[in-house]
Each structure stands twice: as C-alpha cells, then as structure tokens.
Amino acid sequence: MDLNYTSEQKAFRAEIREWLAKNMPEKPLLTLEGEEGFHQHVEWERKLASGNWGMVTWPEQYGGRGLDLIQWLIFEEEYWSAGAPLRANQNGIFLLGPTVMEYGTDEQKARFLTPMAKGEVMWAQAWSEPGAGSDMAAITTKAVRDGDHFVISGQKTWSSRASFADWGFGLFRTEEGSKRHKGLSFILFDLNSPGITRRPIRQLHGEPGFAELFFDEVRVPAENMLASEGEGWNVAMATAGFERGLMLRSPGRFQATAKRLVDLYRANEGNASPATREAVTQAWMGAQAYAYNTYSVAAKILAGGKIGAEASLNKIFWSELDRSMNRSAMQLMGAAAELAKFADGSVNQWLDGYIFSLSGPIYAGSNEIQRNIIAERFLGLPRQGAG
Amino acid sequence: MDLNYTSEQKAFRAEIREWLAKNMPEKPLLTLEGEEGFHQHVEWERKLASGNWGMVTWPEQYGGRGLDLIQWLIFEEEYWSAGAPLRANQNGIFLLGPTVMEYGTDEQKARFLTPMAKGEVMWAQAWSEPGAGSDMAAITTKAVRDGDHFVISGQKTWSSRASFADWGFGLFRTEEGSKRHKGLSFILFDLNSPGITRRPIRQLHGEPGFAELFFDEVRVPAENMLASEGEGWNVAMATAGFERGLMLRSPGRFQATAKRLVDLYRANEGNASPATREAVTQAWMGAQAYAYNTYSVAAKILAGGKIGAEASLNKIFWSELDRSMNRSAMQLMGAAAELAKFADGSVNQWLDGYIFSLSGPIYAGSNEIQRNIIAERFLGLPRQGAG
Amino acid sequence: MEFLLSDDQLTLAEGVKDYLAGTHGPEVLRRLDEGSNRDPAIWQGLVEMGLPGLLVPEDQGGLGLKLLDAALIAAECGRACLAEPLVDTAFVAVPWLAAKGDTADMSAIASGEKTVPLAHKINGWVADGDGASLQSVDPLRKLAAAPENATDDPHLLDLGALMSAAQLVGIADAMLEQAVEYAKMRHQFGQPIGAFQAVKHHLATATVALEFAKPVVWRAAQAMDDSIDRASVHVSHAKLAAGDAALQMAETAIQIHGAMGYTYEVDLHFWMKRSWALIGAWGHRAFHMKRVDDAVIGGSLDIGPAHTFA
Amino acid sequence: MEFLLSDDQLTLAEGVKDYLAGTHGPEVLRRLDEGSNRDPAIWQGLVEMGLPGLLVPEDQGGLGLKLLDAALIAAECGRACLAEPLVDTAFVAVPWLAAKGDTADMSAIASGEKTVPLAHKINGWVADGDGASLQSVDPLRKLAAAPENATDDPHLLDLGALMSAAQLVGIADAMLEQAVEYAKMRHQFGQPIGAFQAVKHHLATATVALEFAKPVVWRAAQAMDDSIDRASVHVSHAKLAAGDAALQMAETAIQIHGAMGYTYEVDLHFWMKRSWALIGAWGHRAFHMKRVDDAVIGGSLDIGPAHTFA
C-alpha cells in the first residue's frame, strides 16, 4: 500500500491540468442530448484528440497514450476537477473500443479504432429491444446471412447517442430459430445505411438523447461482424463487463458533485434540515469511498487480477450515491428546486442532475439485476426462485 | 371528522388515570420473560381484573367492560402514559379471547373466557413448528381422533409465554395425509397434560420467553376443539388477523417511546449527529401518524367496516418505527449503549428496547410476508413468482 | 371523537375524481403540454361543479364547506395532475381572504370569473400570476417571478402548505397506480415484472409511507378547521409526510417503469414533476422540519400517549 | 501510488484467519460464555503467533510491523469474535506508548506477559481492566468503570477508533457469512429462503455497504502509518463507514435468521453484540460525524476530484 503519487504521476497531473486550463471551452457547452450541443461535444472530442487526450488508456498504436489505470484515474480527476464536458465518445472509448481490441481482426482494428480515437466517428450503442430490456437474451432483431452481407430487420431501442451518431453496434440474431443466448452475433453498422430509420425518444426533461432504431432489410457487410458468428453474447458480456465495471463512472465525477454539493450547502444552509446536513457530509464520504475502491480495483487489475461481480457492487454504489447527492441538492434548492431556469436565465444544473441521477439505478443493468448478480455470484445464493 | 373527545370519554380517561395512579406497582416489575417476573405480571393481571380493567373491550358477560375501540384507545393511552407493565395475558386478550367469542360454543365461552378475564389462566400461543414458520401451512404435528379425545404427537416452537403459562392453543393436523391448509383443527390444551414437555428457548438477551413444546401422545378432550374439525386454518387466520391488526400494538406504546426518546435527546444532545436529531423529530411524527391511522381504522370498524390487508401496512409501520426509534436511542447512549446495567445497577432499558425491537419485523408474520400480502392483496400484483 | 371522513365528504371527492377521470385524463395533459397549458373549457367544467366556491360562504354564493372537504378535493386535483389554478384560488386564497374579512371578491371567485394568484415571501414565484415568467420543470405550471412586496402572512403559508400536502398524496396515489399497472403489463424473463418480489416490495414499501401520510394530512386540515392553536405544527407534519411519501413514490415508480419511465412517452413524468414542484412550494422540507423540531424537541408542544389530539 | 494490500499482508492475515477458524470457533465462544470469558490457553496461542509483538519495534522483541498490518489482523479478530484483549494491548496501546517514547513495557507486551487496559475519557469504561465491573451486553467483554484520571489523548482515541473500525468490518463479514449459510440451508415454501429475491436483495444491499467500508478502513490505517496531518478525519470516516455497515449487517442478518436469530441457540448474537459494543466505543457516531463535518463543511479539508489522497 503506497498512497503517494510518484513524481512521474505528479508531472502527468500537472500536464493534463495545464492542457485543460489552456483548452477548456470558454463557456459551458449546450446539452449533449440536443443536436447543436452534440456537435459542440464532438468538436470537443476532436480538440481532445488534437492533444492526444481522447483515448488515454488505449495503446499508442490505436491513437491512445497507453496510460495505466492510475494515470487514467489522475486524468479523470483533473478532467472533472476542471469541469470539462461530458464525453460524446463514451460508447467508443469504454464500450466498443476495448471490445474491438479484444475481439477485432487487425483489419477491423485499423478500420474502426483510429477514426474513433480521432473523434471522427461517433458511436451509438444498440443493445435493448422493446421486448428485451433487463432480459437482454430475449433479442429478436434478426440478421440473415446473404452472401457476404447480413440483412438486418427488426427494432432496437434505448440506443444512446443514436439520434446524432454515425455508426452503431449491437447484438443480432443470426441463427434462425435460435433461443436466448445462442445464435447471436455482434455487428457494427453505419447508421446512415439505407433501411435504417432513427426515431429519437424524448426524455422526461424534454431532450431526445436515446433513440429507437428501425431496421428494414438493412444490408451490412459481413466483415462488420466482431468475432465469429454466434459468439455475440460472449462478446457483449465482455463489453457489458467493461460498461458495468471500472470505467463507466470514474470517481472524479462524483467527487466533483460532492464538492459542488458542499458549496451549495454553504450558500443555502437555511434550506438544510439536520438530515440534509448529514447527507452532505455523507456525500463526501461516499465519493471518497468510491474513489478508494476504484484505486484499489485498479491496483488489483494492474497486479493481474480481474473484476467480476464487484462490478455490480460498483454500479449500485455509484448510482445510489449520485441519486442521493442530487436529492439532497434539490432539498437545498428549496422553492427554487422546480425551476428549469433561474430568473437570470441560467440552467438549474441540480434539477438536471437529479433527473439524470434517476436513470442511474435503471440503465446498464437495473440495480435489481445487479442485486441478483451480487446475491448469486458474489454470495453464492441459489439461482432458483424469481431471480 | 370530529377530533374532540366527548365528556363521557374525558370522564373515562380521568377514571382510568386515577385508578392507575392509585394501583400502579411501586417499582418496575422484573422482566415478563423470567419466572419471577412472569408471576409478578400475573399478579398485575389479577389486580387489573379486580378493577375490571383486564379485558376492557370484551362484552360484560365475559368479564369485560364492553368498551368501544375509542375507549380502548383512551385506556391504552393512559395505560402507556402511566408506564404500566406489559400484559402477561396478551395472548388471551387479543388472540384467543376474540376467537373463542367468534367460534366457541356457549359451553366453551363459559369455560375459557371467564377465567381468562379474571387473570386466573394464562395462555400460550403455539402456531409455529420447526418446519413451519413463515410457511405456517406446513404444520405436521398431528392430533389423531380416539373416541372423545385427540391424541397429539409432534412439536411446536416459538410458543410465546409457554415457559410459564397454564394453557395453550394452536393448529394441529387432524386429517391424516391432508396437505397444507386442509385438515387442520384449532385445539386448546392444558400445558400440564401428561406427555407435554416444555423447553424454554433462551433469547439473545439471555431470558427464556419463547418455548418449544414436545407432544408425546398427549390426550386432549375433543370438546377443546374450536369450531369444527378441519376448520382450523380459517379460525387461525381470523386470530392472526386480530394479531396483525389493530390491537397487537396500540399507538400509546410508541408515543410513550417517542416521548422518552425526546427526553433522552435533551439529556444527551452531545451524542446526536444531525441525522439523529431529525430521527428524534421523525419519531414523534411516526408515532402520531400511527395513532391517527389507528383512530381512523377504529372509526371505520365502528362504522361497520372490516380491516384486511391494512393490517399488513400497520405491522410494517409500527415494527420499523419501533426499531428506528430504539436505534436512535442507542446512538444517543453513545459509549454507554452497550451496557446491560449502568454503574448504579439500573437496567439499560434502551438496550433492551432495541433488542426487543429487532423481533418486531420478524414475528407475527415477517415483514417480507407482509410486503407480499400488501403487493398481492392490496395492490393486486400477480401471485406467481417467488412470492 | 370520530376520525372518519363522512359519506358526504367521500361522495363529493368521488364525484370530482370521476369527473376528472372522465374529462382530464393523460391525453388532456399531453394536449395542454403541446398547447398553452390552460384551457378555459376545463376551468368552466370546474366552475359548473361549483368547486371555485367550495369554501366561499353560502351567503356569498358559495357552498361554505370546510378545509377538510377542500383537502379531499385537492388530493383529487393532484391525482388528475390538474393544471388550472383551482387549489390556489379556491382552497388557499378564499379561506385566507375570508379569515381577513376581505370578502370583496368572494362572489366573483365563486362564479369562476376571478382567480387569485398568490404571492408569498416563502415562494420565489407566483403561480398563474403576471410578471416575468419563470420556467418550471412542470410543463403545466405557469410561474412568474414574485413581486418585492409579497406577504409573509403565516396563515396563508399554512393554507398553501396544507393544500400542497393534500395534492401530494393524490399525486402519489396516481404514480402508484401507474406503476402497479405497468408492473402487471410489462413482462421480462417470462413473467410480469410485478411477480418479482423485488418489484412487489419496492411498491409495498412506498405504499406504507403513503397510506400513513394520508391521515396526517386529514388531521392537519381538521386542526385548521378547528383553529386549534398548534395547527401549524400539524400542517408542517402533513407537508413533510406527504412530500417524503411522494418523493419516495416518484423514485419507486420510475424505477418500476425502467427506461420507459425516463421518457416523455409514458405520462408518469407529469406527476413526478408536479411532486417535485409542490415539495419545494409553500415551505421547503427544512422549513417544516424546523417547525416540528421546535415544537417537539423545543418542548412547546405536549407530547406522549395522552396527547394524541391535545 | 498503489492502493493494494501486499501478498505478505494478505498471507499474514490469512494465517491468523485460519488459526482462529481452527482454534476459536463458535463452540469456544459458547464455552467462554459459560465460563470465565477468558482462557489463558487462547492468549498463549496468540503469543506463540507473535501477535502481541506485531507492532513492537524489532529491537524490543517485536515484529515492527505497521498499523495497516495490524488493522488486517484486527479484522480477523472481529471475524472470530475474539475476546482476549489482543487488539487493545497490541494494536492500540503499543503504538500509542511507542509514539510517546514510553517503551518500558514493550518487551513484556511482546512476550505476552503484560496486557495494557486502556482508560480514555471518551469511553465510560475500561476493557479488561480493574475497578468496579460493568456488565456489557456482550457476554465476552469484561468492562470496569473508568477512573477519574483517564486521558483524553487524541492519538490514543484515533488508534482505538481505527482498530474498532477494523474489527467491525471483520464482524460484519462473519455475520454476512452466517446469514448466507442460513439462507441456503433454511427452507420455506418449498425452497431455500436464499432463493427469494427479498432475501437476496437484503443481503446484497448490506454487502455493498460493507465492501465500500473496507477500503475506507485500510486508507485510514495507511493515513496513520504515513502520519498525514488530517489522518483523524480519515479515522472518523472509517469508524462511521464500518460502524454503519456493521449495524446494517446485524439488522439484516437477524432478519434473515428470523426467530432463530433472536435466540441464544444460533451464535449470531455474539457478533451482533460485539458490533453494538464497538460502534459506541472510542467515539460514538455523533463524535466522528462531527469531526468529518467540521473538516468537510467547515472547510478545513481540501475536497474534490484532485484531492482523493491529498
């Protein structure tokens, strides 16, 4: 156990801090969920890429910096400390990128990873279907082999970034009549292919964000399939593993929220009930605990370990911490909590934050599913019963 | 809606208050769970009976006062306000008594109710078996008809008061090979019958309290059966209904705890974290809400209504309120919370209270069972799935 | 002593419930959201039911009913997510003005010609008032910035808080019903999600909080009707119990709906947003907690088993 | 920067775990409970493992290890519900005396001849000390009334709080394991109760709190080993996280055990009682909450993403 940064790590922290200070957008970007805001965020991705800060954990050969997880954590700490924008490229960086590196052919790596790293191509994730949410193995959208192409027909939903992204990836049923986890393949597709219709789904705060994707005999080259036919479920689980795991939510993001909450408390102490005051203290404790745990998991991975059901512990902890911090902020806002914009026209970030935090316990595997996983895989309780 | 007491109700309140002031034991009784304490509590039951305060809600013909539920609530408010002892006769007053009145023959009513009202006979409840706890329909202890007797063989457990009580009541399988709810009968038995062995179960604080009952061919007269053979489940459900319902925990008891908690807070404010301070305020709010709800249910019943799944709402509310109040008290006790006795030899009532409160969510139908009942019977959610 | 809603009260509330269920369903909320948020026809319907005059003295053209009657109707307005300013004008402004002896507008209110936007210092805004408009998260609320000279009259605050609490229990009822219906209809893993114990227990837990908040609200309304001297404490208790139950129900209902609950495509969001708005309105959580704390821990209120109602 | 327990540390802790599992099982707790609570043979075994000298400098006959090493062993003592005064003497008193330069008893402690009962103003009692005896809810604790002249040394308090936190996570681990085993074994409604989602989710929720308390405890130990100037804040964080996780686990474990958990017949009660004792010991919840509150809200501590460790 050594909780001191090396001089190299300190120098790296200084480097990213300095770069961010120089290159941060003058004013906050519009929301990533809207079209104009999305393009502003894509510009930011390209700015990051220009400084080679886009994919810091990727190997240099794919346009990254080959940083280790500790450097990644330092990068994230400085990134969130500076109040830098959300990542339009999140699906590429953390979901598809690592999956292509693990399962892609050299040709696929060259073709997909470099544009991803340069921020030239934005990726949408397309797992869920109307009948396959928590129960992802219920996927029915089919991809029928036709020579050197697949012909995709069906519907995906809750596709993040799909309203404005360029390409998408997801699971499709390539073996007719196959059931559940079998007969699925992991396929990448151009969102502008003929036969794809995008329908943005309006979220409760009014912005689009997610989208439905309708596939009407969409022809996709077979070389866009990752790994071999029928292997899709295992590939997706690896991806979901990354998603649920270490990198989906870096601690810096919650430490920044906790810090803002403390500032809000100091400004609005009169709106704090005793329990809210304690909740503010708990916010710092929770965000720090999450950071310690992440540093600890990172060190285990660097020492050759793997993460399994711990990813489910993480998901529950950060999602409930985030909701609780934002709920406390709503209380501290008092009668102004309901205002979408304040009199001066500024956006009520805490209201947006609370609303966004309500999605945390739902997406990337609901917290009910995560609790089942913890009980069955981490604690070894029996599978039977209504899972 | 009329929230003012009538002059009759005020006079009644004054009457019980005066009687209690005159007749309260000089010093607190020993715990009801121990043998000496149990007999002290039986003496108190007889003292109550001497003032005709034992079974205030029973009809006068059975030794009660025929009080309505509002008078009962006033009685309970004064009883707990005075800090009067726990009721050794609870099983008789609230469980068996009403059941005998509803299902007993005139002969059974005369034989069992009057001694119960006079505090001459203390009753033990014998529902559970080692294999039939939450799943009470799994009862296997059998009562085989032999002429004008039943011959009982098997085992009961978690029998409250059974260590020292005189008589017991419970469910027994009278139809050989019958399954689940069918073939059960409700039988009353003398705990001193030949063939009955009592084994007190030591509770975690060290006192006995519950007991196991072993039946080795115990002969019980058939006239001790309530209702007809095989009707036991319905009779028991009615009893359990009373138990889970209005009378198991009267509000006065929790209002008294809340008041003591406020006093403890004032004395130990330095031991209170902000959240504990709010929890103390919440204790008063919770106890009042429980009282309002009880007055409301009482009024509905007086107006001819019945209580169903609301009983499960009650059970969850009071048991979690009680645990939370006592947990707050433990925090307010600080380093002294762990002391069973203080330096001056006095008992740490809050520690006992916290320990006792941990049984609330477990007994009389666990809160998990209660939540199932609320979901299925009150909200109408489907039964299937791991209930 | 009879803690009981009378048949007349229940019949009246049931009538309003049925009327709003028939005329003010989710499709109306969607239409108002796309349009101007207000619809004179809806207001006219409420007028024809006599609701604006519910608390107006009979000799001024009203029904002369009590705050408890109004609270039951306010709960139904919450259940229907009603956007028209009925509660503010008829159940908050009227009893406030009447108590001040200011009866000038009573008949105009009773006849539905006049509504009364309320400016109180504790709110930064005025609902359905004039002045620079403010944007609420609730698309059906019309807020304007509060004037400098807003009153801080505590009686007005108590009335606003009481009626917010009453609306909140109705809102929570509506969210519970939507979550239960969704849990019965939505299938995953081969069964309705409502058959999963986790879903059952989430909903049961939120139901307990809601059912035990309701009698607190009715008690507070009766306390104001009886003008007992500590009525404010009971109003604060009601606002806290109803607000906490509604917030818990909103978080439970969206969780049961899963990703659908996070969209504008199911109607749950209308009720969630209304609950967020009313929780902060007419005294936020800390304000009411302090009033109860001052009474209970501060010792200005008699507490204990013998003081349930006195 | 490496937030990692070393193989040496894990091997040592594993060794103590195995030793205690083999020699200090529940049957030993029951025997001690019926007898005099202490058993020289158990103490002798700990001495033979060199544990009393774990933190004693090597030149005084000890192993000269660090607080983090000791915290891992303290967690194992909690897991085994160890009653002997090892943690107080070897992991609290030794580093306290050493820091004061008071090394007179070090070799006697290392050799197991001497134990050091600790009297601190923050506790009303002294564990395994002389004086008028006090009865703890924990049948294996031997408490005596604290003397008038007890110290209020903050370093001693931090050491006591840190090692209480470490024991609490071990205690919680043990309660979790017992609840899981019971849930697999106990059948109701035709299946193990551990197959019911309600049981699964109770245990999963308590597990999350426990697993996220552990790194807080290790970080606090390292903070004291590194003598960073705000180590006290991290110790208080550790005591709060470990205490809250242990209390939640105790309430969860007894609920899973049902009526059996309420008896003296299953052994769970030994660990529940130890957790209640240690939660109040060496600074109650409010004491430690205030220290964190003063640092975080008071502003004396740098917070935010760039201040995870500094």
Half-sphere exposure of A243 (CA within 13 A, CB side): 20
C201 CB within 8 Å of a chain D CB: yes
| Chain C / chain D CB contacts < 8 angstroms | 9
**Cα–Cα distance for residue pair D123/C295, rounded to 1 Å:** 33
Q: How close A352 gets to chain C, by Cα (Å)?
A: 9
Q: What is the full DSSP assignment across B138-153? A: G---EEEEETTEEEEE
CB contact under 8 A, A293 and D215: yes
**Cα–Cα distance for residue pair B318/B235, rounded to 1 Å:** 25
**B305 pLDDT more than 90:** no
Residues of A with catalytic function: 243
ipTM field: 0.96
In angstroms, how far is the first alpha carbon of chain B from the final one?
38
In this structure, the number of other CB atoms found within 10 A of the CB of residue D149 comes to 7
Adjacent-strand bridge partners of D188: D191
In this structure, the number of other CB atoms found within 10 A of the CB of residue B57 comes to 18
Q: What is the pLDDT of residue B386?
A: 43
Please give, one letter per residue, the 3-state secondary structure of D208-242. HHHHHHHHHHHHHHHHHHCCCCCHHHHHHHHHHHH
**Cα–Cα distance for residue pair A97/A93, rounded to 1 Å:** 5
3-state secondary structure of A342: coil
In this structure, the number of other CB atoms found within 10 A of the CB of residue D197 comes to 26
**Cα–Cα distance for residue pair D190/B177, rounded to 1 Å:** 18
Query: Which pLDDT band, with edges at 50, 70 and 90, does B384 fall under?
Result: low
DSSP 8-state secondary structure symbol assigned to residue D194: G
B368 φ/ψ sector (left φ>0, alpha ψ -120 to 50, else beta): alpha
* Phi/psi at A360 (5° precision): -55, -50
> Chain B residue closest to D268 (CA)?
B204
In total, chain D counts a number of residues equal to 310
CB-based burial, D1-11: b 16+ in 10 Å, e otherwise: bbbbbeeebee
| Residue that wins the pLDDT comparison between B307 and C53 | C53
* Nearest CA-CA partner of B90 in B198, B247, B222: B247
Q: What is the pTM of this model?
A: 0.96
Q: What is the full DSSP assignment across A211-276? A: EEEEEEEEEEEGGGEESSTTBHHHHHHHHHHHHHTTTSS-HHHHHHHHHHHHHHHHHTGGG--HHH
User: Do the Cβ atoms of D309 and A255 come closer than 8 Å?
Assistant: no
The mean of the pLDDT values for chain A is 93
> Chain D residue closest to C202 (CA)?
D198
* Phi/psi at C83 (5° precision): -100, -25
Residues 6+ positions from A332 with CB-CB distance below 8 Å? A261, A264, A265, A268, A271, A272, A276, A350
The mean of the pLDDT values for chain B is 93
Query: Which pLDDT band, with edges at 50, 70 and 90, does A386 fall under?
Result: very low
**Mean pLDDT value across residues C27-46:** 95
* Nearest CA-CA partner of C106 in C280, A104, D101, C98: C98
Give me the residues of C, 109-128, that contact B with CB < 8 A.
none
User: Do the Cβ atoms of D175 and D183 come closer than 8 Å?
Assistant: no
In total, chain A counts a number of residues equal to 387
CB contact under 8 A, D247 and B327: yes
D10 CB within 8 Å of a chain A CB: no
**B31 pLDDT more than 90:** no
**Cα–Cα distance for residue pair C263/C260, rounded to 1 Å:** 5
Q: What is the pLDDT of residue A244?
A: 47
Write the pLDDT tens digit of every residue in A139-193. Answer: 999 999 999 999 999 999 998 888 999 999 999 999 999 998 999 999 999 999 9
Q: What is the pLDDT of residue B247?
A: 74
Query: Which pLDDT band, with edges at 50, 70 and 90, does A365 fall under?
Result: confident
User: Do the Cβ atoms of A204 and A159 come closer than 8 Å?
Assistant: no
**Mean pLDDT value across residues C267-281:** 98
User: Do the Cβ atoms of A351 and C280 come closer than 8 Å?
Assistant: no
Chain D residues close to B351, C-beta within 8 Å: 137, 276
3-state secondary structure of A172: strand
**B79 pLDDT more than 60:** yes
Residue whose tokens read 């510009």: A43
How far, in Å, are A24, B46, B62, B220, C138 from residue B115 at the CA level? Answer: 86, 10, 9, 19, 64
Residue of A131, A158, A339 with shortest CB distance to C136: A339
State the best of A273, A285, A368, A371 to mutate against chain B, taking most chain B CBs within 10 Å.
A273
Residue of C195, C208, C305 with shortest CB distance to B313: C208
CB contact under 8 A, D204 and A379: yes
D180 CB within 8 Å of a chain A CB: yes
**Cα–Cα distance for residue pair C73/C54, rounded to 1 Å:** 10
Whether B129 sits among the annotated catalytic residues: the reply is no
Query: Which pLDDT band, with edges at 50, 70 and 90, does A241 fall under?
Result: low
User: Do the Cβ atoms of D144 and D133 come closer than 8 Å?
Assistant: yes
Chain A residues close to C141, C-beta within 8 Å: 338
User: Do the Cβ atoms of A141 and A129 come closer than 8 Å?
Assistant: yes
Give me the residues of D, 12-41, that contact A with CB < 8 A.
none
A379 CB within 8 Å of a chain B CB: no
Q: What is the pLDDT along chain D (310 residues), one digit of tens a residue?
A: 999 999 999 999 999 999 999 999 999 999 999 998 899 999 999 999 999 999 999 999 999 999 999 999 999 999 999 999 999 999 999 999 999 999 999 999 999 999 999 999 999 999 998 888 999 999 999 999 999 899 999 999 999 999 999 999 999 999 999 999 999 999 999 999 999 999 999 999 999 999 999 999 999 999 999 999 999 999 999 999 999 999 999 999 999 999 999 999 999 999 999 999 999 999 999 999 999 999 999 999 999 999 999 7
**B212 pLDDT more than 80:** yes
Q: How close A118 gets to chain D, by Cα (Å)?
A: 27
Residues 6+ positions from B270 with CB-CB distance below 8 Å? D286
Q: What is the pLDDT of residue A240?
A: 62
CB contact under 8 A, B340 and D137: yes
* Nearest CA-CA partner of B98 in B110, B113, B78: B113
User: Do the Cβ atoms of A71 and A80 come closer than 8 Å?
Assistant: no
Chain C residues close to D196, C-beta within 8 Å: 197
Strands A211-221, A149-159: pairing is antiparallel
Please give, one letter per residue, the 3-state secondary structure of chain C. CECCCCHHHHHHHHHHHHHHHHHCCHHHHHHHHHCCCCCHHHHHHHHHCCHHHCCCCHHHCCCCCCHHHHHHHHHHHHHCCCCCCHHHHHHHHHHHHHHCCCCCCHHHHHCCCCCCCCCECCCCEEECCCCCEECECCCCCCEEECCCCCECCHHHHHHHHHHHHHHHHHHHHHHHHHHHHHHHHCEECCEEHHHCHHHHHHHHHHHHHHHHHHHHHHHHHHHHHCCCCCHHHHHHHHHHHHHHHHHHHHHHHHHHHHHHHHECCCCHHHHHHHHHHHHHCCCCHHHHHHHHHHHHCCCCCCCCHHHCCC
Chain D residues close to C198, C-beta within 8 Å: 197-198, 201
Choice among B45, B77, B212, B243 that is catalytic = B243
**Cα–Cα distance for residue pair C248/C243, rounded to 1 Å:** 9
Residue of D1, D196, D293 with shortest CB distance to A281: D293
* Phi/psi at A297 (5° precision): -65, -40
Q: What is the pLDDT of residue A387?
A: 38
Query: Which pLDDT band, with edges at 50, 70 and 90, does A209 fall under?
Result: confident
C188 CB within 8 Å of a chain B CB: no
In this structure, the number of other CB atoms found within 10 A of the CB of residue C102 comes to 11
* Phi/psi at D254 (5° precision): -70, -35
> H or E element: which one contains B304?
none
Adjacent-strand bridge partners of A189: A168
**B61-65, B382-386, C40-44, D28-32: least confident range:** B382-386
CB-based burial, B155-190: b 16+ in 10 Å, e otherwise: bbbbbbbbbbbebbbbbbbbbeeeeebebbbbbbbe
Handedness of CA D12, D18, D19, D25 (dihedral sign): positive
**A306 pLDDT more than 90:** no
Identity (one letter) of the amino acid at C154? P
Half-sphere exposure of D306 (CA within 13 A, CB side): 13
D306 CB within 8 Å of a chain A CB: yes
Chain-centroid distance of CA A50 in Å reads 22
CB contact under 8 A, B288 and C216: yes
Residues 6+ positions from D22 with CB-CB distance below 8 Å? none
> Chain A residue closest to C279 (CA)?
A335
D177 CB within 8 Å of a chain A CB: no
Residues 6+ positions from A314 with CB-CB distance below 8 Å? A244, A245, A246, A249, A290, A293, A294, A297
User: Do the Cβ atoms of C9 and C68 come closer than 8 Å?
Assistant: yes
CB contact under 8 A, A273 and B278: yes
Query: Which pLDDT band, with edges at 50, 70 and 90, does B387 fall under?
Result: very low
In this structure, the number of other CB atoms found within 10 A of the CB of residue B264 comes to 18
Residue whose tokens read 């969210």: C175
| Chain A / chain D CB contacts < 8 angstroms | 183
Query: Which pLDDT band, with edges at 50, 70 and 90, does C130 fall under?
Result: confident
Q: How close B108 gets to chain C, by Cα (Å)?
A: 35
Write the pLDDT tens digit of every residue in B239-288. Answer: 666 544 677 789 999 999 999 999 999 999 999 999 999 999 999 999 99
Strands A149-159, A196-200: pairing is unpaired
Identity (one letter) of the amino acid at A59? P
CB contact under 8 A, A77 and D180: no
**Cα–Cα distance for residue pair C218/C169, rounded to 1 Å:** 11
Strands B167-173, B123-126: pairing is parallel
Residues 6+ positions from D129 with CB-CB distance below 8 Å? D117, D118, D119, D143, D144
Write the pLDDT tens digit of every residue in A163-178. Answer: 999 999 999 999 999 9
CB contact under 8 A, A387 and C189: yes
Chain-centroid distance of CA B116 in Å reads 15
